[in-house]
Amino acid sequence: MSTPKPRITVIGTGYLGATHAAAMAELGFEVLGLDIDPAKIAMLERGELPMYEPGLGELLRRHVAGHEGASGRLRFTTSYAEAGEFGDIHFLCVNTPQKHGEYACDMSYVDRALDSLAPHLTRSALVVGKSTVPVGSADRLAARLAELAPAGDDAELAWNPEFLREGFAVEDTLHPDRIVVGVRSERAETLLRAVYATPVAEGTPFIVTDFPTAELVKTSANSFLATKISFINAMAEVCEAADGDVVKLAEAIGHDDRIGKKFLRAGIGFGGGCLPKDIRAFMARAGELGASEALTFLREVDSINMRRRAQMVELTREAVGGALLGKRVAVLGATFKPDSDDVRDSPALNVAGQLHLQGAQVTVYDPKGMENARALFPTLGYAASAAEAVRGTDVVLHLTEWAEFRELDPAALGETVAQRHILDGRNTLDPQLWRKSGWTFRALGRPTA
């Protein structure tokens, strides 16, 4: 007789949790998603996504109970009692933002989630952290769980960091490039092997570690990626000083397979709900551990990244003749990357906001991020399309590399602007194409003509 599949809860149904919940249902598990935001839960129950993520809406509707043709394996709740009663495995997917006014991670959401769940664990259960947390958190939370769970030692903790990329979240969750689990018992490892049996059978490496290593894998991976982006952006600064071309430079060094082409596109840098806060939290935690010297380079990585935003503002000022006051600026892109509606710490919106504060009249257009952008920066102007955003403007800024912006027709747009100036903050537009239609084209780290 085969053992029944473990039942899964997913605590926190944001970008990570909603994807994880739907993916677990797709893998054949009974899943209960929980969030403290009743509006989010109501939407998910209706089969609607509270965010934009390609393919996730379809996946959700394939499984949400009560929908025609759905497997019915996915349900949602706001009740911790129900989650405790239902689940054998509980994935913690709540947010871990930067603390106000300091670099450290705000663990209050994770702490609250664990404190709410633990008293309802009256039988054998595995609580699996997926949020990105400072090293040492799992150890602390395991002690807290032991203290609060009526099941005692039968309620156990594991850490299973998440590596999904927004824009590819469904693919990354169903077919991850690696699975890392920090465990303290064979039972925990066996349960997690059962959860991930399908991707492991497809060849995904399954790496078993202790708690601190599992936590560190995530923060070190993000630090490496941030460093690679800031490296090429530092080269862009040097190219600007020496009249070199960072795009050619990146192409040339990328052919060396020890370096590789990925994450070598110079531009206005990284943002989003992960990289910036994760490298800062990592520095703060290293300081607490007496290892701050090991990570001082991340301060430079962060500074290079933030300088690119400032440089974009300077290029804009130059393009409009030296003073931003009253100048009309179109900003194409608001999200921190394409194929997402996420505007958390978005370089594009940050640049738009700086220009606005310096007196420019800024009009923003983004294919999916308008609602979130408006909520964060209600004082910026917003347009319903790229064509509308650029009409009558003195300069156009390309700040998020959505595919639709590469399809824009420079000749047609040129008829509607006041001045044909375009600044490419992502190095994905074709300079020849724009220059042919009479535009002055400038980009970060590239020669002016």
Ligand X SMILES: NC(=O)c1ccc[n+]([C@@H]2O[C@H](COP(=O)([O-])OP(=O)(O)OC[C@H]3O[C@@H](n4cnc5c(N)ncnc54)[C@H](O)[C@@H]3O)[C@@H](O)[C@H]2O)c1
Active site residues: 274
Please list every residue from 147 through 166 that binds ligand X, using CB under 6 A: 162, 164, 166
The CB-of-40 to ligand X minimum distance in angstroms stands at 5
The CB-of-154 to ligand X minimum distance in angstroms stands at 22
- Complete DSSP assignment for 323-385: --TT-EEEEE--SSSSS----TT-HHHHHHHHHHHTT-EEEEE-SS-HHHHHHH-TTSEE-SS
Beta-carbon count within 10 A of 314 CB: 9
Listed residue (129, 87, 345) closest to 226, CA to CA: 345
Nearer to ligand X, 11 or 279 (CB): 11
Nearer to ligand X, 76 or 441 (CB): 76
Out of 8, 9, 12, 232, the residue judged to bind ligand X by CB under 6 A: 12
Looking at the DSSP bridge assignments, the partners of residue 155 are 125
Listed residue (394, 324, 395, 393) closest to 359, CA to CA: 324
Say if CB 352 and CB 360 are below 8 A apart: no
Nearer to ligand X, 35 or 215 (CB): 35
- Segment interacting with ligand X (CB under 6 A) among 35-43, 282-290, 323-331, 367-375: 35-43
Out of 37, 82, 154, 237, the residue judged to bind ligand X by CB under 6 A: 37
Out of 98, 132, 160, 350, the residue judged to bind ligand X by CB under 6 A: 132
Q: Which CA distances in Å does 286 have to 131, 216, 217, 293, 412?
A: 18, 11, 14, 8, 53
Q: By rule CB under 6 A, what string of x and - marks binding of each residue 57-96 to ligand X? A: ------------------------------------xxxx
Out of 10, 16, 370, 443, the residue judged to bind ligand X by CB under 6 A: 16
End-to-end CA distance of the chain: 73
The CB-of-271 to ligand X minimum distance in angstroms stands at 12
The CB-of-127 to ligand X minimum distance in angstroms stands at 13
Q: Which residue is nearest to ligand X (CB)?
A: 14
User: Would you report the helix, strand and coil content of the chain in percent, each value rounded to 5?
Assistant: 45, 15, 40
Is residue 380 within the footprint of ligand X (CB under 6 A)?
A: no
Out of 84, 129, 269, 273, the residue judged to bind ligand X by CB under 6 A: 273
Q: In the Cβ-directed half-sphere of 245, how many Cα atoms lie within 13 Å?
A: 10
Please list every residue from 94 through 113 that binds ligand X, using CB under 6 A: 94-96, 109, 112-113
> With contacts defined by CB under 6 A, how many residues of the chain interact with ligand X?
27
Is residue 34 within the footprint of ligand X (CB under 6 A)?
A: yes
Out of 8, 10, 17, 173, the residue judged to bind ligand X by CB under 6 A: 17
Structure tokens at 415: 């008829």
Is residue 431 within the footprint of ligand X (CB under 6 A)?
A: no
Residue positions counted in the chain: 449
Structure tokens at 122: 């009256």
Nearer to ligand X, 56 or 360 (CB): 56
Report how far residue 160's alpha carbon sits from residue 183's, in angstroms, rounded to the nearest whole number. 9
The CB-of-60 to ligand X minimum distance in angstroms stands at 14
Nearer to ligand X, 166 or 401 (CB): 166
Nearer to ligand X, 112 or 406 (CB): 112
Q: Which CA distances in Å does 78 have to 16, 68, 117, 419, 425?
A: 17, 23, 11, 53, 42
> Helix H segments across 179-210?
186-195, 197-201
Residues at the interface with ligand X (CB under 6 A): 11-17, 34-37, 40, 93-96, 109, 112-113, 116, 131-132, 162, 164, 166, 273-274
